[in-house]
Amino acid sequence: MYLNFSIFNFFLKRERFDKFFFYHRPLWSKKYLEFECDYYNYYFFKFEFEFQPIKKDHGGLRLELNILGYSLDLKIYDSRHWDYKNNCWEE
């Protein structure tokens, strides 16, 4: 499942990116949590939701919210890659 709604900054003259905070830790076997706060002035507003736990490299949950350039990004994902040929996780 994937959902994205965004309004880009049409007054933008120069992109700016600043990272304020990044947190990463293992949750359980091959599953990880990432949380990030940053500033990216390309968007006035952005909401992005993705949930694909299998059949994708690093599959899992991702949620991003950006308001006036200030962004929060949460990811819970699997560290493995998907083997498309055998339809399973690579070991």
Question: Structural domain of residue 45, as residue ranges?
Answer: 1-9+33-74
Whether residue 15 is contained in a domain is answered as no
> What are the residues facing 52 on neighbouring strands?
60
At 80 the three-state DSSP class reads: coil
Q: Which helix (H) or strand (E) holds 1?
A: none
Whether residue 65 is contained in a domain is answered as yes
Q: Say if residues 58 and 40 touch (Cβ distance below 8 Å).
A: no
Whether residue 64 is contained in a domain is answered as yes
Whether residue 24 is contained in a domain is answered as no
Whether residue 82 is contained in a domain is answered as no
Tens of pLDDT, residues 73-88: 999 998 888 888 888 7
What total number of domains does the chain contain? Answer: 1
- Please check the confidence at residue 13 and state whether its pLDDT lies above 90: no
| pTM for the predicted model, two decimal places | 0.81
Whether residue 70 is contained in a domain is answered as yes
Confidence of residue 66 (pLDDT cuts 50, 70, 90): very high
Q: Say if residues 7 and 47 touch (Cβ distance below 8 Å).
A: no
Whether residue 81 is contained in a domain is answered as no
